[in-house]
Amino acid sequence: MRRNALAFPLVAALVSLSACGDGGAAKAPATPPRPAMTPEQKAVLLAALPAPYNQGDLENGRRVFSRCRSCHTVAEGGANMTGPNLYGVFGRKAGGLEGYTYSTAVKNAGFVWDAEHLDHWLENPHTFLKGTKMSFAGLDNPTDRRDVIAWLKVETGYVAEAAPAAAPVSATAQ
């Protein structure tokens, strides 16, 4: 009997709270996330990467990157954590992601992230850029670094720079 005496006020409170709200106004749907890429799509992107990254092992890159997941996200619109979101990192000015508080060393680095800079960074962030707040000790194995960079290029929206168009060959030059 006592249980029923408590149940009625609880149900009444829940019903009255459900009436609160925005008066039934329609809410804008959230932007749906991009569908996951198929292995075939990833293979096409991998093959299009510049050497040596086109020879990367994406599974090994994913596995090695798992060490980084406690600090970094890679999804478009993903959250900054202890480290910045890495989506779109290639072509981004070091220290240039809005909403993340970088160390002074990274803010003043003066370079744009590319595979070469990232390779040196992954090898040893502290010798590459003195004063960084990143606590990662680095990856000694160059194959692991290549694979992580290839994986990041495939997973983070990397767009290869277009090769310069070849000059048309004139009929008189033949």
pLDDT value at residue 170:
43
* 122 found inside a domain: yes
Residue 25 belongs to a domain = no
Question: 10 Å Cβ neighbour count for 125?
Answer: 19
Judge whether 16 lies within some domain.
Answer: no
DSSP alpha helices (H): ranges in 19-83? 39-48, 58-65
- Tell me, what amino acid is at 16? S
Confidence of residue 131 (pLDDT cuts 50, 70, 90): very high
Domain total in the chain: 1
Domain that residue 94 falls in: 39-155
Three-state SS string across 130-144, please? CCCCCCCCCCCCHHH
In a domain, 6, yes or no: no
Residue 35 banded pLDDT, cuts 50, 70, 90 = confident
Vertex 154 angle, CA 114 and 81, to 5°: 75
* CATH number of the domain residue 64 falls in: 1.10.760.10
pLDDT for the residue 160: 79
The CB density around residue 23, as the number of other CB atoms within 10 Å, is 5
